[in-house]
Structure 1
Amino acid sequence: MATSDLLRHQIIKSLLAQHTEKVADAAINLWEQMAIQIISIVGEGGFNSLYARSVFLTQSTFPWLADGTLSPQTDHRFSALKICFEEQTPAQTSAANSLLLITFTDILTSLIGEQLTTNILRSAWGNDASDRAGKGFKNE
């Protein structure tokens, strides 16, 4: 299956396409929703490790991204990422966030599998997100 055909990639692209204003706020909201679901499964340390690795890999394309260190305060967990996003154009922010989310979910998928990762994203972002992204595409 081609990478662009993966339902989770389609979900990410669909959600990002919906937010053309306040792109940084929308991006952080997606990260916060996803973090809640993933932390409940792998713990804070596991999530932080996945996030740090994802940022490191994404920095080769977007070197302006802050390092992968997350704030220990859960209500400000992604504050460094938000600052980086706010300093860029909406198009740059959207592209960087898309790659960062795809990289993160690719790593997660390599650990827990495609179906479980997609189910986590559905829980985080709502089943309707996958419905909009997967019109005519069945994830088995």
Structure 2
Amino acid sequence: MKNALLYVLLLATLLPTVSQWGTIAYYHANKAYIARVLCENRDKPDLHCNGQCYLAKRLKAQQDKQDKETTERVQNMPVLHLFYAASERFLFAPDWCEQLLTALPVYRFPAYNTPTAGLFRPPQV
């Protein structure tokens, strides 16, 4: 059961790629019929088209259809905002706050010396 589900999911994932190969395989399997009936240049044998115009037209139509579906899917995709930026105004402090802050003593942290000087020394034998 798991293997069947795996193959179905794999086929569904690879289907857009396989569809172009399917068109190419159909062209090679029916090259004589396409060159004789469906080719646009069948009345001009000196071009040696052999139905390649039909193949190019079908591949372009498939690509256009796939591009259209992709753009529609992207345009209809809901937008998920992960971050919210609050638009707050910055209020500057009045003059009396600045004077108060400059009058208060600023606490300074003492210089911190790491105690690694005694740890990193060569071993004594």
Q: Which has the larger radius of gyration?
A: 2
Specify if TM > 0.5: no
Q: Return the structure number with greater relative CO, CA threshold 8 A, min gap 6.
A: 1
Q: Which one has a larger percent helix, Structure 1 or Structure 2?
A: 1
Q: TM-score, normalised by structure 1?
A: 0.26
